[in-house]
C-alpha cells in the first residue's frame, strides 16, 4: 500500500486572550449550557458599577461635569486632557486614586499601557483599597504578557470585592492563557452568576471548552457571547474554529468574514480563513488571505508556515522554501515550522535534510504524530525499513 505523507495542519484555533452581526447559519443554541463543567446560571440582577471608596453617592453635577465624567470613563478624551482639563472637575466627584485610574484608562486607550500601569501604581499609593485599580492593572499586565502578575492583580480585586463579576471574568481569561482551561471555565461561570450579561465570560467558557474538546458546548457559549455582544469579533472567530472542527467549512468562512468585517486588522481571522481556503483547494484565495495576515502582522510565524504549505500545494517549491525559512527565522521553536521544512526537503528527495528537520520537530514536541509519520515515510523511501516501522508505530 502507498504510504501517504502528512502535511501538518497544526492547531486551527486562533481564538484569542480576550463584533454588525450576520445571521449565523449555525443551529440555534439551546437556552442553557450543559457542559461537563457544571456551570449554573441562576437568575441575577445586573449590578451597577461598583462605587469607588470615598466617592460621594450624591453629587450635584452640572452638564459640564457629567460630560467630562462620561468622556473620561469612556477613555475618549486624550490622556493629557483628562489630567489637565478635567482632573479638577473629577476630583470634586472622585477620590484622588480613582481620578488616577481614569487617567490610566485614557492612557491605555492611546496604547500607552506602560504609562497607564505607572498611573495605577500611583493610584494605589494614594488609596490601596480600590478593587477597580487592581482589576485594570491586571488587564494591563495581561496585555503586556505578564500573566502571573495579572492573576495576582485580579485575585486581589476579587479579595477586596467578592461580587466583582468583571474581575472573575478577567481572571478566567488569565487562566485561559496559562492553559488552565477548567479553572478558566469555572471562574467565568462565577462571573456569570454575578452578572449574566457578561459576553467576555461566555467567550472564556467557549474557548476553554474548545481546548478541552467539548465542541458542542463551546459553540453554545460562543453563540451566547455573540447574542449578548453582536460586535464581538473574537467570539465569531471562536464560532469559526468550532465550525471548522465540525466540517462546516462554508459556515466557518461566513464567521471568519464577519470577524474581519468587525475588526479589519484581525490577522488571526485572515490566517484561519487562509487555512480554510487551502482545505477547500481554493489556493489563490488562501494565498491572498495569508498574505493579508502577514501584512497585518509581519512577524506572524505560523502564517508564513501556512503560506509555505499553500505554495507547496501549488507546486511552487522555491516560494514555499522561502516562506518556510522566514517562518523558522521568526520562531525556530515552533515544531510545525520544522515539520513543514521536512516536507519541502522530502519533496525534493533530500531525505537526510528532511529527517533532520523532523527530528528537530520531535525534540520540540515529543508527541508530534505528524512528524513521526513523516519521519517513518522518509526511512521508508530510503529503504530503511526497520526504522520506518519503528516511527510509524510510535505515531
Domain boundary assignment for the chain: 230-331, 335-394
CATH number of 230-331: 1.25.40.10
Of 25-39, 135-149, 163-177, 322-336, the range with the highest mean pLDDT is: 322-336
d(CA 113, CA 141): 9
What does the radius of gyration of the chain's CA atoms come to, in whole angstroms?
25
Q: Within a 13 Å sphere around the CA of 345, how many CA atoms are in the beta-carbon half?
A: 21
The answer to whether 320 touches 305, Cβ cutoff 8 Å, is: no
pLDDT band at residue 280 using 50, 70 and 90 as cut-offs = very high
d(CA 303, CA 257): 17
Please name which of 293, 334, 290, 295 lies closest in space to residue 312, comparing C-alpha atoms.
Answer: 290
- pLDDT at 5 exceeding the cut of 70: no
- pLDDT at 40 exceeding the cut of 90: no
Euclidean distance between the first and the last CA atom of the chain, given in angstroms as a whole number: 18
pLDDT band at residue 15 using 50, 70 and 90 as cut-offs = very low
- pLDDT at 21 exceeding the cut of 60: no
- Residue 349 CB-density burial (10 A; 0-12 exposed, 13-18 middle, 19+ buried): exposed
The answer to whether 384 touches 368, Cβ cutoff 8 Å, is: no
Which of the two residues, 164 and 24, has the higher pLDDT score? 164
- At 173-214, the pLDDT tens digits run 999 999 999 999 999 998 898 888 889 999 999 999 999 999
Which one of 3.90.550.10, 1.25.40.10, 3.30.540.10, 2.30.140.10 gives the CATH number of domain 335-394?
1.25.40.10
H helices present in 48-180, as ranges = 63-74, 79-81, 87-91, 96-109, 113-126, 131-143, 147-160, 165-177
C-alpha torsion sign, points 359, 363, 369, 370: negative
d(CA 290, CA 303): 6
The answer to whether 123 touches 105, Cβ cutoff 8 Å, is: no
- At 281-300, the pLDDT tens digits run 999 999 999 999 999 999 99
Amino acid at each position: 500500500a502507498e504510504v501517504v505523507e502528512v502535511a501538518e495542519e497544526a492547531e486551527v484555533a486562533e481564538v484569542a486572550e480576550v463584533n454588525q452581526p450576520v445571521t449565523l447559519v449555525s443551529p440555534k443554541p439551546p437556552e442553557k449550557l450543559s457542559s461537563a463543567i457544571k456551570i449554573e446560571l441562576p437568575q441575577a440582577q445586573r449590578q451597577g458599577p461598583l462605587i469607588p471608596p470615598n466617592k460621594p453617592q450624591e453629587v450635584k453635577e452640572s452638564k459640564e461635569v457629567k460630560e467630562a465624567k462620561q468622556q473620561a470613563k469612556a477613555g475618549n478624551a486624550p490622556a493629557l486632557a483628562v489630567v489637565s482639563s478635567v482632573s479638577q472637575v473629577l476630583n470634586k466627584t472622585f477620590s484622588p486614586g480613582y481620578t488616577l485610574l481614569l487617567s490610566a484608562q485614557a492612557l491605555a486607550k492611546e496604547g500607552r499601557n506602560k504609562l497607564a500601569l505607572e498611573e495605577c501604581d500611583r493610584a494605589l499609593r494614594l488609596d490601596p483599597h480600590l478593587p477597580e485599580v487592581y482589576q485594570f492593572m491586571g488587564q494591563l499586565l495581561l496585555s503586556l504578557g505578564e500573566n502571573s502578575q495579572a492573576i495576582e492583580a485580579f485575585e486581589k480585586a476579587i479579595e477586596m470585592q467578592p461580587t466583582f463579576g468583571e474581575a472573575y471574568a478577567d481572571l478566567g481569561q488569565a487562566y485561559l492563557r496559562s492553559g488552565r482551561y477548567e479553572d478558566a471555565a469555572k471562574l467565568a461561570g462565577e462571573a456569570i452568576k454575578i452578572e449574566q450579561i457578561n459576553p467576555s465570560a461566555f467567550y472564556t467558557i467557549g474557548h476553554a471548552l474548545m481546548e478541552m474538546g467539548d465542541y458542542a458546548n463551546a459553540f453554545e457559549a460562543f453563540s451566547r457571547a455573540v447574542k449578548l455582544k453582536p460586535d464581538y469579533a473574537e467570539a465569531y472567530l471562536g464560532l469559526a474554529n468550532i465550525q471548522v472542527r465540525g466540517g462546516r467549512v462554508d459556515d466557518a468562512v461566513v464567521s471568519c468574514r464577519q470577524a474581519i468585517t468587525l475588526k479589519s486588522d484581525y490577522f488571526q481571522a485572515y490566517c484561519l480563513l487562509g487555512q480554510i481556503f487551502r482545505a477547500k483547494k481554493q489556493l489563490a484565495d488562501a494565498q491572498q488571505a495569508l498574505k493579508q495576515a502577514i501584512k497585518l502582522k509581519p512577524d506572524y510565524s505560523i502564517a508564513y508556515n501556512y503560506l509555505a504549505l499553500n505554495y507547496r500545494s501549488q507546486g511552487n517549491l522555491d516560494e514555499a522554501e522561502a516562506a518556510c525559512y522566514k517562518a523558522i527565522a521568526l520562531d525556530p521553536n515552533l515544531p510545525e515550522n520544522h515539520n513543514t521544512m521536512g516536507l519541502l526537503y522530502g519533496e525534493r528527495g533530500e531525505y537526510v535534510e528532511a529527517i533532520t528537520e523532523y527530528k528537530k520537530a520531535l525534540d520540540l514536541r515529543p508527541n508530534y504524530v505528524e512528524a513521526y509519520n513523516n519521519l517513518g515515510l522518509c526511512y521508508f523511501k530510503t529503504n530503511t525499513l526497520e526504522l520506518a516501522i519503528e516511527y510509524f508505530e510510535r505515531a
